[in-house]
Amino acid sequence: MAATKDPRPCSIADALALVGEKYSLLVLREACLGNGRFDQLVRNIGAPRDILATRLRRLVDAGILTKRAYSERPQRFEYRPTQAGLELEPVLLTLMAWGDRHLRRDEGRPMVIEHSCGNELLPVVTCQACGAGVHHDDLTAHPQIPGWSVTGPTAA
């Protein structure tokens, strides 16, 4: 049996250990928008400068951002998303859509994303195999690790 004090092994938890700290995903948002300079990040995110510096180091170490000079003399830097960082963008888009739907029922949206197809982007999470939109009731969880079963309606 699992020892009485370690949590469920989980990629969500692991991902959040990297990008789940306060401001981290907002840093990634700005980097994806092309606003990767330190003072832009400070202004657009509203985070304390020291915390931001800490987050940037972590995200660079994790391979989610890179720090590149956009000017030598004077040295000036810019943070850009790596491939791994760009692959987190769908998480941001999905979260943004959720916020638009549930937190802004009557206000306008602060940002609209246009897809290259010409329409406004409404992100939908689909099953790669069948293409259908994903809904809770269509899912069955299969824990791969002994001792970490699941009890509810999503159970294996």
Q: Which stretch binds its own copies (CB under 8 A): 51-59, 66-74, 122-130?
A: 122-130
User: Does residue 54 interact with its own copies by CB under 8 A?
Assistant: no
Angle at which helices 89-103 and 24-33 cross, to 10°: 110
Q: Which residues bind DNA (CB under 7 A)?
A: 21-23, 37-40, 47-51, 53-54, 56, 67, 70, 73-78
152 touches 145 (CB < 8 A): no
* Cα distance between residue 74 and residue 76, in whole Å: 6
Binding-site member from 50, 71, 136, 146 for its own copies (CB under 8 A): 136
For position 146 contacting its own copies by CB under 8 A, the verdict is no
Min. distance of Cβ 112 from DNA in angstroms?
27
DSSP character for 120? B
Contacted entry of DNA, its own copies, none for residue 60, CB cut-off 5 to 8 Å set by kind: none
Q: Could you tell me which stretch among 49-57, 66-74, 141-149 binds its own copies (CB under 8 A)?
A: 141-149
Is 60:68 a contact under the CB 8 Å cutoff? no
Q: Give whichever of 53 and 100 is closer to its own copies, judged by the CB atom.
A: 100
Cα→Cα distances 70→59, 73, 142, Å:
19, 10, 47
